[in-house]
Structure 1
């Protein structure tokens, strides 16, 4: 069975007020071309297809148009990420075709999407886990429903139930809810007792977690131990578990270590920060009848690049300096290394790097709060005004002298 895994499109996003819509149209066309070339059995889209809290009609139309084209070539399974939600993907309720599956709610967790194989028989099971909101979704995941439609408490809550509190709730923690989602999947698999490939999809921050170390959240999501995958959080002990987990949320494409399950982030198709990589791709995932998994990166051509640059203003603006020549049209942040801020630095650099998004000084930001060397002190009003004029290209001595005279006449003091 063959799958194409992509994620984190962030349709509607800009780059510091630069419109990225044409570039997003471009990668959507590239993905359609990849589908046509490789003919996967399903396209897995692991969340954050939209970026803004209230997506524009143009962005919804763009997503709808893509789905309509892609569904003619393959089945589509799409989950909501933390930038998405049931309300934002509400337009998709009109899709009643079996080739398009959009999963946005915790109530859908544990229900497999059956993907037909080449012979029309069951080829694989895919279990989508949309982004789970700790407080909104814990009530749903505190219970599960068996094959007779009887609702039960999650395993971790059975001992806590009492006459006084017959329906306790799971703690509002991402790790706890994700484990409950895995247990739902494990129960469904236990009933099926099938040997077809099994995949899952999630939009979360899964990583190796050292209990002795505090791990910071990433993109506002707290880390979840990837080791939970090995036994479906305690439900299927000793089973072979999942064959592949398709992840979204992190914008780089790489495998996650620390589990026996083949687990990959697909990354975003465009770099959305200057700190991101200029190598973007989709993932072609193949699972053979012996449950061996092969993952291949399918490169995407980028319409722009991103970079962090550092150096002196003379080197950065030197047209013959090979270190910086290829980055003139990149979205970039620049850090100047001089001990003092060069005159008119912003305008000089912007002329060479028109997509410069941020300019900093090696010993501080360009807000005029740092002097040469490593000594910090508060600048006077006159010094701030003088530095502002210099940044704007006004550095003639007579102009600065006039500024000083106006300051002294207005304030009534003498600048030392």
Structure 2
């Protein structure tokens, strides 16, 4: 069975007020061409197809137009990410075609999408896990329903001591909800007792977690131990575990180590920050009848590049300097290294690097280390709000994380 895995399109996003609409049209055309060339059994889109809390008509038209073209060539399975929850993908409720499966709610977790094989028989099972909100979705995932329609508590919860006791709920933590989602998948696999390839999809930050070290959130999502896949999903036990996990949220394409399950991030099809790579792709995933997985990167051509530059203003503005010449049209941040800030530095650099997004100045060195100095750029709304809270003495990690979450949900930010 063959699949194309992609994620994090962020339709509607700009790059520090630079319009990216035409560039997003470009990668959508490339993905359609890849579908036509490779004939996958399904296209897996692992979340964050939209970028804003309230997407514009043009972005919804762009997405629905793509789905209508792609569904004529393959089945589509799309999950919601932390940028595009159920309400944002609500326009898709009108899709009743079997070729388009859009999964946005926790209640859908544990229900497999059956992908036919070349002979028309069951070829693979795909279990979508949309982005799970730690508090909004924990009630749903605290229980599960058996084949007879009877609802049970999750395995980690105890039955109430009496009828008067409230129904216990899972802790509002990403790893706890992800574990409950995997248990739902495991139950369905046990019920089916089939040996076809099994794939899952998720929009989360899965990584190796050292219990003795604190891991920072990435793009407002807290880390989930990748070891959960082997502890709960069963790896390849009896051929009935998850063979491939199609991940979204991180904008780089790479495999996640530390698990028997083959798990990959597909990355974003465009670089959306100057710190990102200029190598973007989709993933061609093949799972054979023996559950062996092969993953191949399908490169995407980029209409622009990103970089971070550092040097003296004389070197940076020298049109013949081969270190900087290839980056004149790139979206970039620049750090000047002179001891004193050169006069009219911003305008001189902007003339050479018209897409410069940020300029900083390092004021000399101390023990061979560049010292941070002035920064010249327009602050975002989130940065202004963060600085305001800090001036009020509200600066704990939890406070700032909550501010970022509120900003993402109401305004739309620039995090992963």
Q: TM-score range by the shorter chain?
A: 0.7 to 0.9
1:235, CA displacement in angstroms? 11
Match status 1:365 vs 2:374:
yes
* Helix, strand or coil at the partner of 2:156: helix
Separation of aligned partners in 1, 2:156 and 2:200: 22
Aligned to 1:101: 101
Change (3 A) 1:8 1:235: closer
Query: Deviation string for 1:123-159 (max 9, x for gaps)?
Result: 0000000000011000000000001111000011125
Separation of aligned partners in 2, 1:229 and 1:160: 29
Aligned to 1:389: none
Aligned to 1:387: none
Q: Which stretch shows the higher mean deviation, 358-367 or 69-78?
A: 358-367
Is the CA contact (8 Å cut-off) linking 2:359 and 2:376 kept in structure 1?
Answer: no
Separation of aligned partners in 2, 1:353 and 1:346: 10
Superposed counterparts of 1:14-413, under 5 Å: 14-158=14-158, 162-232=162-232, 241-363=241-363, 364-366=373-375
1:166, CA displacement in angstroms? 4.6
Separation of aligned partners in 2, 1:324 and 1:331: 13
Separation of aligned partners in 2, 1:161 and 1:133: 28
* Helix, strand or coil at the partner of 2:110: coil
1:232, CA displacement in angstroms? 2.4
Structure 2: gaps (5+ residues) = 364-372, 378-416
Separation of aligned partners in 2, 1:162 and 1:247: 41
Is the CA contact (8 Å cut-off) linking 1:231 and 1:237 kept in structure 2?
Answer: no
Structure 1: gaps (5+ residues) = 369-416
Is the CA contact (8 Å cut-off) linking 2:189 and 2:240 kept in structure 1?
Answer: no
Is the CA contact (8 Å cut-off) linking 2:346 and 2:359 kept in structure 1?
Answer: yes
Higher-Rg member (1/2): 1
Structure 1 stretches of at least 4 aligned residues deviating more than 3 Å after TM superposition: 159-164, 233-240
TM-score normalised by length of structure 1: 0.86
RMSD of equivalent CA atoms: 1.6
Aligned to 1:409: none
* Helix, strand or coil at the partner of 1:184: helix
Separation of aligned partners in 2, 1:39 and 1:319: 46
Separation of aligned partners in 2, 1:201 and 1:230: 16
1:230, CA displacement in angstroms? 1.2
Separation of aligned partners in 2, 1:238 and 1:158: 29
Q: How many residues align?
A: 368
* Helix, strand or coil at the partner of 1:155: coil
